[in-house]
Amino acid sequence: MSSEAIYSSDVAFTPTVKSIQGRKGSRDGYASMEERGSWRTRITPDLAAFIRNQTSVFLATANAEGQPYIQHRGGPAGFLHIVDDSTIAFADFAGNRQYITQGNLSDNPKAYLFLIDYRTRQRVKLWGEAQVVEGDSELMAKLMPANYRARPEQAIIFKLSAWDMNCPQHIPLRFDAAEVEAIVAERDERIKTLEAEVARLRSIQGIPAAPSK
């Protein structure tokens, strides 16, 4: 965050942004938010729980010339580790070996994490700085998800500056495959239980069993 920043949200609300907000009528509302304390700068228990439940994250960086880049990272729930109330860390698995994110962070540590949960229709934006850590086997052992089939190449440490949670407007409701499978399995088990109960009642009342389909 700039040394000239007054509020934590100034990490995103630059003078130019505030000018546009003023022209389009939203500045008063955001100014009120700033006066009430602005965006949070520490990871709260609720945010920590949200982060730990995610299986996907988008990491944005920019190179020295300001060219932005977004990279997706995924893993089992819990692959994003809360180190402390201002630090998130995760294992960076081997991929296509372009190393754009690592190169960008070498020149410009500014980074941004975007998390979206389609099932709960929540999204969280986190601003901060990140670094790549290579050759730290002890750290990697702590960050590597158990029994996950991936090769960890390095670690990424993200230091939080500010975060904000958006409203659910326009976020489509979606479920991942594992959740759908669990819902369908529960439904099928319920159907079996009901069919068994129907068969039992038919038997008691002497009603012939329904023909199988």
Share of the chain above pLDDT 90, in %: 73
pLDDT in the model for residue 38: 94
- Residue 33 pLDDT grade (very low, low, confident, very high; cuts 50, 70, 90): very high
Does the pLDDT at position 2 exceed 60? Answer: no
Strand ranges of the sheet holding 122-133, from the earlier edge strand across to the other edge: 68-74, 56-62, 110-117, 122-133, 152-166, 87-93, 81-84
Does the pLDDT at position 50 exceed 90? Answer: yes
pTM: 0.81
pLDDT in the model for residue 5: 75
Question: Each residue of 195-210: pLDDT tens digit?
Answer: 888 888 888 888 777 6
Q: Which of 58, 97, 53, 96 is closest to 74 using CA atoms? A: 58
Does the pLDDT at position 131 exceed 90? Answer: yes
Tokens at residue 82, please? 């809360």
Question: Each residue of 135-183: pLDDT tens digit?
Answer: 999 999 999 999 999 999 999 999 999 999 977 777 777 777 777 888 8
pLDDT in the model for residue 172: 74
How far is it, in rounded angstroms, from Cα 160 to Cα 146? 26
pLDDT in the model for residue 3: 55
pLDDT in the model for residue 46: 95
What domains sit in the chain, N to C, each tagged with a CATH number? 1-38 (no CATH), 40-166 (2.30.110.10), 175-213 (no CATH)
Question: Each residue of 70-81: pLDDT tens digit?
Answer: 999 999 999 999
Does the pLDDT at position 37 exceed 60? Answer: yes
